[in-house]
Structures are given as structure tokens and as C-alpha cells.
Structure 1
């Protein structure tokens, strides 16, 4: 258990909460731009508020330390350090959260749309069952690799927007941790992919201490190439990848700024 006197250099931000009055907060105990942040712990504070009388309430909290991984930590090392849970992130317009069963219909509708099928290699037999299995795989990616994809929800409306995050499957020719995104076509052209991609990029660089990130994009997918450019990525190479021999992909790459760089 962490000492109650542990201090934080960043604001306490609620990560999750529910109607029971239980909230989970995560504090970084060192500056994200400090060299010490490569091994700094995160304090996870779990608080429960219990109504007493009238408008008064009693709140009790416990704290636990989540050790940050070294920048070269393997997926197994991240898992051992408790990094397998999908965090919840808020951006200006998006809630980036874990997938839930309630997302299935919206997720399947997105993946089955002609626009998404064109770019995401969905098999002809892709159905609702396959969509559920894919969602389960995305959730399991966090547990097994310490990285993963978020479900994207529009904060203003609660509508399902798509998925985005940090993908790193076990494939022989996969370049490394990928920043990826898929949006429901009704949300295209509004900057949501860039907004979610930037949050995923910043999380990977600041919290996971990744040195390099990639995006694998078909060479004729100009929309996604524009997103990669806005994220600060540059085209590293073009090649046919073993898992999709039908067309070449551009491998876009971005590097983590040195600590202290703006």
C-alpha cells in the first residue's frame, strides 16, 4: 500500500466511476517530462462515498502503487506491473474507454459498412458473431500486451464513434506498436481520428515510454495518411505485409520527443 503522504505533481483525474459512489483516480507521482518518469509509480486511489444524513456523506479511500514500466519493458513485464487494464481517457470531444457488450451492434454496423470494409480487409463472411469475437480480442489485447484499442464515444451525445489506440499483435512482419483508428463513416471528416490518435500517441510516449510508434496504412488510403501526417508521423517505407499480400502498405513512423522538448 502506498503511504498516505505520497505527493503528486499532476492533478488527480477521475478514471472511472459508477452509481455506487466508487471512483478510481490515478496520480502520476513524478512529472511526465522528468527522466525519472521512466520508472515512476502511479498511485491508484479508490474512494467510496457513503451517504450519512441529509446532504452529508462520508468518504473513505485506499491507495495502491502501480509501478510504471521501463521504456523497453516487454508486454509480459507490463502485465506483471499491472499495466493490463484499459485506462479511460477524456479528450475535448471524446471519451476513450474500454469496450463493453453494449457496443456490439454499433461496432458491427461500423465494421460492416462498405466504406470501412474497403480499407479494413473485413472478410466476406464477417458477421455479428465475428464482430463480437473481434471486440473480445481487442479487450484481451490490453491484458496480454499492455496496450490496446479504446472504444470511442462522443461526449456530447454518448454516440459510438469508433475505435482507436495502440495495436501490437504477434505477427512476424509487424513493425511495432501501431497507432490505429477506425471510425463510423458518419463521423468522418470531423477531426475525431486525429483527436483520438493524438491522445493514443501521447499516452504511448508519456505513460508507456515507447520510443517509436507506427501506423500501417494502405498506399491509396489518403484520408488516413493525412491523419498520420497531422500526428507528426513520416513515411518510413512501403512494402507488402505477409498478413495482407493483396496490396502494399505504407509504414508511417513517429518518434518520442526527448524529455523537455516542446
Structure 2
């Protein structure tokens, strides 16, 4: 797994449900997803990560603060469709109380290094909603540049996104 200066990554499991709810049911955290999830949607999200571990050997992981053992958020690698192409993406969602402390950048950089060095990926991306300036800044801090704009559809809503790599 991944370890950074302040963080340890591990696979999510059912015991993380309450921590995932704190993230995925927070309207502010979930602005880019058009709002908070229901309990059922959180469970499907968790099940998808467990399936991703089986299918790909990676997914979004629990990110834990080394010094306190606190669940900071979920950060990891997923396969995402960008128009007609499937790309390896770094995704990050943190509990609000851990925003603006450098954790997203630290964790995303750890994932980028893992993807390139351990998985041997030729390219790793971030797909970010055009209105999500904080996530765009994280991508830029880890050395990515915006390459194109495209549209995703989620919950019946047209959502412009940027592709970074």
C-alpha cells in the first residue's frame, strides 16, 4: 500500500461505512456530485470500491492520519471514462475538517507516484468538474496540467469537466 509522510492508505471495508457517510453525505463535500448520497448510495459506492480492488487491484482507499489514526478521507486510483477513452484517474474526497491542511495534495502525490512507479502506468489523470477550483489546484500542485474540457452526465445533469495529466 501507499504511505506518505503523514498518511497511511489501506483498503476500505464495511467498518468504514460511517466515515464514508460523513464524506458522501456532506452537501458541501459533494457539491461536484450534485449533492449528498443516501445510505444506499454510500453502500453502493463502498461495494464499487471493493469490486475495483478485485477487478483492478486498486480503487479508492481509506486514508488514515499516522499520528492519530483518524480517517481523513478516501483517495486512490480508479478507471474513468473520458469520452471514448478509459483513463487511470486519481480521485480524492476528504472530510471537511481535513481541508486546507495539505492532505489532499500529499495523498494525490502518493497515488501519482504509486501509479507511475508501482503499477507502471504511462499516464495518470484527474477528471475534475469545471466548477471545482479546489480540486483543480490539487491537480496542479502535483504537476498536472489541464488538457481538455469535456462533458459528463451524472444524475441526469450535464457536468462540464476538465481532464488533467
**TM-score when scaled to structure 2?**
0.90
Residues 152 and 160 in structure 2, CA contact (< 8 A), matched pair in contact too: yes
Q: Secondary structure at the match of 1:203?
A: helix
Residues 82 and 150 in structure 2, CA contact (< 8 A), matched pair in contact too: no
Aligned-residue offset at 1:135: 0.9
Residue equivalent to 1:229: 140
What does the per-residue CA deviation read over 1:16-66, in whole Å, with 9 as the maximum and x for residues that have no partner? xxxxxxxxxxxxxxxxxxxxxxxxxxxxxxxxxxxxxxxxxxxxxxxxxxx
Q: Which structure is higher in helix share? A: 2
- CA distance 1:170–1:146, change in 2 (3 Å): farther
Residue equivalent to 2:111: 200
**TM-score when scaled to structure 1?**
0.58
Farther-moved stretch of structure 1 (113-122 vs 238-247) = 238-247
RCO higher in structure (CA 8 A, sep ≥6)? 2
Aligned pair partner of 1:99 in 8, 12, 22: 12
Q: Does 1:247 align with 2:159?
A: yes
Residue equivalent to 1:189: 100
How many residues in Structure 1 have an aligned counterpart in Structure 2? 164
Aligned-residue offset at 1:249: 0.3
Residue equivalent to 1:178: 89
Residues 146 and 163 in structure 2, CA contact (< 8 A), matched pair in contact too: yes
Residues 2 and 111 in structure 2, CA contact (< 8 A), matched pair in contact too: no
Q: Does 1:213 align with 2:120?
A: no
- Unmatched segments (≥5 aa) in structure 1: 1-87, 254-262
Residue equivalent to 2:24: 111
Backbone CA RMSD of aligned residues: 1.9
Aligned pair partner of 2:58 in 130, 142, 147: 147
Aligned-residue offset at 1:171: 7.3
